């Protein structure tokens, strides 16, 4: 399991590296000291697992999760010294969280859970999508991620880039300016997840992004 360590403290990264070196099957492919560096390394190294600190300069852990994209998404395990952040991350959908200093037994359990999750690409995508909006100041759809399927890949989409959701029978399509992707949830679940501010249900088979509406036309009552 290819692993990336993200923490702004060199000592914390070294301690994690030493503990991970003792775990069979784990290969440390890189380290990053902030979220911006982590995004670059995730794109280049394509790790299976990211051990992510929350409070870092330049870009923190939650902001990094909001900016994750692409077809290969890693499992994210939160690492923090602050209990309130750990609880917030766990409730937001993180597969696991570790409190510093990390104990050997606790780390192994987190790695075992991450390995199981890593075998399910959809679960990994949902994991990141749930972490992303954890620190939003309100319950709007801003910053939320939607999982779409494009062929054999699961992609994370920003709410702002989605034009509409359209149901066709049992399938739900995500419509963007560039392509259509298959949604992984029902229209009802999507509507509940996004809230009512930016997206509106205009038909039993359609939800539109009102910020993307450029023109509205009245329909005649004549047939």
What CATH number was assigned to the domain covering residues 145-212? 2.40.50.40
Alpha carbon distance 103, 90 (integer Å): 18
Which residues face 79 on adjacent strands? 53, 98
Q: Where in the chain is the domain with CATH 3.40.50.2300?
A: 2-131
Alpha carbon distance 37, 34 (integer Å): 6
- Indicate the pairing of strand 162-168 with strand 171-176: antiparallel
Residue of 196, 220, 223 lying closest to 210 (CA atoms): 196
Tell me, what DSSP letter sits at residue 218?
P
Residue of 109, 78, 104 lying closest to 91 (CA atoms): 78
Q: What own/partner pairs with CB < 8 Å and gap ≥ 24 does 173-182 have?
A: 174/146, 174/148, 179/150, 181/148, 181/149, 181/150, 181/155, 181/157, 182/148, 182/149, 182/150
Question: What fold characterizes domain 2-131?
Answer: Rossmann fold (3.40.50)
Q: Where in the chain is the domain with CATH 2.40.50.40?
A: 145-212
Residue of 109, 83, 81 lying closest to 95 (CA atoms): 109
pLDDT tens sequence for the chain (223 residues): 999 999 888 988 998 999 999 888 999 999 999 888 988 999 899 999 999 887 777 776 667 777 776 667 898 888 877 666 666 656 555 557 777 777 888 888 889 888 888 888 888 888 777 775 554 444 455 557 788 898 888 888 888 889 999 999 889 999 998 889 999 889 888 888 777 668 888 888 999 988 887 766 655 555 4
Quick one: tokens of 152? 């054999």
């Amino acid at each position: 399991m290819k692993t990336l360590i993200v923490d702004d403290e060199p000592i914390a990264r070294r301690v994690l590296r030493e503990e991970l070196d003792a775990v069979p099957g784990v290969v440390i492919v890189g380290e990053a000291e902030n979220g911006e560096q982590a995004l670059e390394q995730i794109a280049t190294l394509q790790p299976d697992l990211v051990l992510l600190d929350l409070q870092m300069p330049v870009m923190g852990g939650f902001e990094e999760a909001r900016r994750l994209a692409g077809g290969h998404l890693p499992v994210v395990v939160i690492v923090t010294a602050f209990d309130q952040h750990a609880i917030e991350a766990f409730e937001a959908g993180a597969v696991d969280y570790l409190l510093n200093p990390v104990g050997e037994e606790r780390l192994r359990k987190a790695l075992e859970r991450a390995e199981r999750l890593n075998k399910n690409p959809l679960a990994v995508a949902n994991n990141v999508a749930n972490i992303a909006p954890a620190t939003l100041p309100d319950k709007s759809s801003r910053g939320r991620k939607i999982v779409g399927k494009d062929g054999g890949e699961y992609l994370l989409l920003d709410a702002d880039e989605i034009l509409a959701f359209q149901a066709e029978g049992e399938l739900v399509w995500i419509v963007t300016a560039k392509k259509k992707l298959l949604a992984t949830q029902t229209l009802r679940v999507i509507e509940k997840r996004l809230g009512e501010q930016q997206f509106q249900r205009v038909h039993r088979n359609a939800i539109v992004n009102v910020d993307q509406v450029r023109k509205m036309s009245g329909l005649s009552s004549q047939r």
